[in-house]
C-alpha cells in the first residue's frame, strides 16, 4: 500500500494549513457561528474535494476531503460540522440521489458556501433508530407537505436548504421513510437554538415543521428509499466526523508538546519527566493509528469499494482517541489546563461530541461486533460510486 499523499492533496493540505494559521487560530476564542468563515472555505474549495467541476468541486476525492477536514478541525473543531453539511450529508446526498433539477438548483451553491445546509435526522423519539421517525411526509398531488419535530440539527438556525427525513406511513417502519429537500425560508419552518457544552461554532437547533412544503421533484431517490439514502449519507458523514476527531486530537497533542517544552517544574522542563513522555507517546501513537484507519476508509470509498465497516471502526476508534487525548492534554497542562487561558479546556469540551455524532459509540460497537461475529455483514452494497460523478464539467 502507498501511504504517501499525492502532490494534489499535499497542495490542498498546504492551503488549508495556511488558512488555519492565518484565519482560524486567531479567532479560536470566538465560540460562535462565523458566516464569513463558511464563505472563505467555500471559495478556497475546501468543501468541494469530492465533487466534480460541474458542482464547484475539484474532483480530488474523499481522501482529500478527509485531509482538509482534519486540518480545519485541528484549528477549530467547531468548524468541522460544516464539512458534513456543506460537503457530505447535504449536497453529496443531493448529487447522489437527487434529480437533475435538484442537483442543478442546490448543490453548487452549498459546495461554494454561498448557501447553508442542514440534515434533519434526529427527533425527540428517534435518534439511532431511524425507523422510529415520526415526522409525516404527505403527498399532496403536486407537492409534499411535512409536519413534525427534529432535534440536534446542526446549522438548523442558519440553513437555507435542508434534507428532511420523514415517513409516509409509520406502519411501514423503515420502508416508509423518504428524504426530501426543503427550502427553509418559508412559513412553518421554526428553529430554536439548543445550548450545548462544546462545538459552539456550529449552531444546533430544535426544528418544528408545520405544513412545510416541497415540490415533488425534491424527493431524493424513490418513495420509500429514505432509509437507504440515510445510511449512505451517514457513511460519508462519518468520514468527516472521524477526520475531525483526528484533527482535534492532533491539536491536543501539539498543545501538550508546546507546554511541555516551556513549563518548568522542580528546576527542569516537564518534558524531562518520564510520566510526561509516556503521556505524549500514548497520544502520538493513538492519533497515528486513528489517522490511518480514517484514511483507509476514505480511500476505499474513492475506489468505489464497500467501506461501511471500515468507517465504523475509524469513527469508533477516533472518537475514543480524541476524548482520551483531550483528557491527557489536561493532565499535561495541570492547573493551567483547567483555566480559560489555554485552549485545552475548549478541546476537552469539544471532544465528547465525537463519541455521539453520526452514530454513537454503542451503535458503532454493535455494527462492528455484529460483523465480527458473523451476525450481520456491516458492509452495504454500493448503489452509487464516486466514479459516476467524476469529470463532470
Contact 165, 93 (CB under 8 A): no
Helices (H), the chain: 7-19, 35-43, 62-75, 81-83, 93-97, 100-102, 108-111, 226-260, 274-302, 308-333, 335-338, 344-351, 361-372
Within 8 A by CB and 6+ apart from 97, the residues are 179, 220, 221, 225, 229, 232, 384
The answer to whether residues 239 and 62 touch, using CB atoms and an 8 Å cutoff, is yes
Is 358 known to be catalytic?
yes
CA angle 258, 262, 263 (to 5 degrees): 115
Q: By three-state DSSP, how is residue 53 classified?
A: helix
Q: Which residues contact 241 (CB under 8 A, 6 or more apart)?
A: 80, 84, 315, 318, 319, 354, 357, 358
Catalytic residue among 288, 358, 388, 393: 358
- Grouping H, G, I as helix, E, B as strand and the rest as coil, residue 143 is strand
Sign of the alpha-carbon torsion through 362, 368, 372, 373:
positive
Q: Which residues are paired to 182 by β-bridges? A: 162
Active site residue ranges: 358
Amino acid at each position: 500500500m502507498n501511504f504517501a499523499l499525492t502532490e494534489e492533496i499535499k497542495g490542498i493540505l498546504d492551503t488549508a494549513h495556511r488558512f488555519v494559521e492565518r484565519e482560524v487560530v486567531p479567532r479560536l476564542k470566538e465560540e460562535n457561528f462565523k458566516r464569513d468563515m463558511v464563505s472563505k472555505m467555500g471559495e478556497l474549495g475546501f468543501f468541494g474535494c469530492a465533487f466534480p467541476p460541474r458542482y464547484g468541486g475539484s474532483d480530488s476525492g474523499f481522501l482529500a476531503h478527509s485531509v482538509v477536514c482534519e486540518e480545519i478541525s485541528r484549528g477549530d473543531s467547531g468548524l468541522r460540522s460544516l464539512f458534513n453539511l456543506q460537503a457530505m450529508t447535504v449536497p453529496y446526498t443531493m448529487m447522489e440521489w437527487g434529480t437533475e433539477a435538484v442537483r442543478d438548483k442546490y448543490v453548487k451553491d452549498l459546495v461554494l458556501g454561498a448557501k447553508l445546509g442542514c440534515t434533519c435526522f434526529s427527533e425527540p423519539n428517534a435518534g439511532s433508530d431511524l425507523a422510529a421517525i415520526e415526522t409525516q411526509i404527505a403527498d399532496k398531488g403536486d407537492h409534499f407537505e411535512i409536519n413534525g419535530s427534529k432535534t440536534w440539527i446542526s446549522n438548523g438556525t442558519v440553513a437555507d436548504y435542508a434534507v428532511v427525513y420523514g415517513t409516509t406511513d409509520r406502519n411501514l417502519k423503515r420502508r416508509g421513510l423518504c428524504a426530501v429537500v426543503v427550502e427553509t425560508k418559508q412559513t412553518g419552518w421554526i428553529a430554536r437554538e439548543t445550548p450545548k457544552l462544546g462545538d459552539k461554532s456550529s449552531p444546533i437547533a430544535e426544528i418544528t415543521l408545520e405544513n412545510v412544503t416541497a415540490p415533488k421533484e425534491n424527493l431524493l431517490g424513490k418513495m420509500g428509499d429514505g432509509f437507504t439514502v440515510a445510511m449512505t449519507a451517514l457513511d460519508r458523514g462519518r468520514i468527516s466526523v472521524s477526520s475531525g476527531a483526528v484533527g482535534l486530537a492532533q491539536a491536543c497533542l501539539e498543545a501538550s508538546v508546546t507546554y511541555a517544552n516551556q513549563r518548568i517544574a522542580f528546576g527542569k522542563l516537564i518534558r524531562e519527566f518520564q510520566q510526561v513522555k509516556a503521556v505524549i507517546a500514548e497520544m502520538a501513537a493513538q492519533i497515528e493509528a486513528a489517522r490511518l484507519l480514517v484514511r483507509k476508509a476514505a480511500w476505499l470509498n474513492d475506489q468505489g469499494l464497500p467501506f461501511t465497516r471500515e468507517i465504523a471502526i475509524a469513527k469508533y476508534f477516533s472518537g475514543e482517541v480524541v476524548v482520551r487525548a483531550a483528557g491527557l492534554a489536561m493532565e499535561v497542562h495541570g492547573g493551567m489546563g483547567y483555566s480559560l487561558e489555554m485552549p485545552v479546556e475548549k478541546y476537552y469540551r469539544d471532544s465528547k461530541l465525537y463519541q455521539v455524532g453520526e452514530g454513537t459509540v454503542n451503535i458503532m460497537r454493535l455494527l462492528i461486533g455484529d460483523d465480527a461475529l458473523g451476525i450481520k455483514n456491516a458492509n452495504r452494497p454500493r448503489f452509487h460510486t464516486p466514479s459516476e460523478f467524476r469529470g463532470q464539467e
